[in-house]
Structure 1
Amino acid sequence: MSRRSRAREVVLQVLFEIDLNPDCHTVQADNFMRSRLTQDAEVLEFARGLLAGVRKNRSELDELLKKTADNWSLERMAVVDRNILRIGAYEMLHSDTPERVAINEAVELAKRYGAKQSSHFVNGILDRFVKERRVANKPGKPAE
């Protein structure tokens, strides 16, 4: 597992905890990440940035994912899948991670932590997310 993949895994665990326990404090989350990523300050900073970004942009990410996931409300999605989608969407929108890398990393997290069909679900949603973004950003498209 790559260093950044490990950071994403730890961030997923923190987001899962926050989803189930909204009163989880930032200090607790940071302590957890530091305990899991003790050997690499650079990876810890990547994880901190990823967590902060997902949390800060959560309502934007959720709105975009709702639009992309036909017939699926975020509340109906498994907690793991929902947070994997948030991480993937955040990386595609707000980081320098290439879209294909963000999708592949999300699919790997889904294989490891999700249900049997989670990887297919995550791949389908994020792939559609990318296609819809490309259409929306296509030159010559009328402004909304």
Structure 2
Amino acid sequence: MSVRSRSREVALQILFEDEHNSRDSVAELKDFLHGRLNNPDAEAFAQTLILGVRRNRGEIDQEIERIAQNWSLTRMAATDRNVLRLGAFEILYGDTPFKVAVNEAVDLAKRFGSENSAPFVNGILDKMKK
């Protein structure tokens, strides 16, 4: 698994956790990332993803709901919702190439979601192409 893929995996775990027990302190977040990744580049990338999703969550959620017709975020599985947020952040605000962002999100959905998660995530993110 690449360093960036591993960073995305840990970022997804934090975003999922945010819905239940957020690590509000940046120092706490850095400590957690260091313990899980133990690689300065991976830690920095994961932190960028997490803080970026947190900062832009309102706009990201609006875009996901606009595209995901007949699906509110509250109806989505928590894993799918957070994979979508992560992928959407990379597409809308990051410098990750579109296809890479979508493929990475689909891989996370396959790994952590249900059997329907990957096609669901792919379908929504594919519609976000600028």
What range is the shorter-chain TM-score in?
over 0.9
TM-score, scaled to structure 1: 0.85
Contact 2:30 2:43 in 1 (8 A): no
Counterpart for residue 104 of structure 2? 105
Residue 140 of structure 1 is matched in structure 2 by none
Residue 58 of structure 2 corresponds to which residue in structure 1? 59
* 2:18 counterpart letter in structure 1: I
**Partner Cα separation in structure 1 for residue 20 and residue 30 of structure 2:** 17
Aligned-CA RMSD value: 1.1
Query: What does residue 44 of structure 1 align with?
Result: 43
Provide the C-alpha distance between the structure 1 equivalents of 2:29 and 2:65, rounded to a whole number of angstroms. 26
After TM superposition, the runs of 4+ consecutive aligned structure 1 residues lying more than 4 A away are none
Q: CA deviation at 1:116?
A: 1.1
Residue 25 (structure 2) pairs with residue 13 (structure 1): no
Question: What secondary structure sits across from 2:127 in the alignment?
Answer: helix
Q: Quick one: distance in 1 between partners of 2:46 and 2:53? A: 11
Identical residues among aligned pairs (%): 51
**Normalized against structure 2, the TM-score is what?**
0.94
Partner of 1:68: 67
Contact 2:106–2:118 under 8 Å retained in 1:
yes
What residue is the counterpart of 1:32 in the other structure? 32
Maintained 8 Å contact 2:91/2:128: no
Aligned mates of 1:117, 1:90 — CA distance in 2: 22
Q: Deviations over 1:73-113 (max 9, x none)?
A: 00110111001000111001111100100000000000000
Q: Which residue of 2 aligns with 1:93?
A: 92
Q: Which structure: larger Rg? A: 1
- Equivalenced residues, count: 129
Q: CA deviation at 1:32?
A: 1.8
For 2:46 and 2:108, locate their aligned partners in 1 and report how far apart those are by CA, in whole Å: 15
1:124 and 1:69 map into 2 onto residues whose CA distance is 9
1:7 Cα offset (Å): 0.1
Counterpart code for 1:92: I
How far does residue 16 in structure 1 lie from its aligned partner after superposition?
A: 0.4
Whole-Å separation in 2 of the counterparts to 1:81 and 1:30: 25
Residue type of the alignment partner of 2:89 = Y
Give the whole-Å Cα distance in 1 for the aligned partners of 2:53 and 2:81. 12
Q: Structure 2 CA distance, aligned partners of 1:33 and 1:18? A: 14
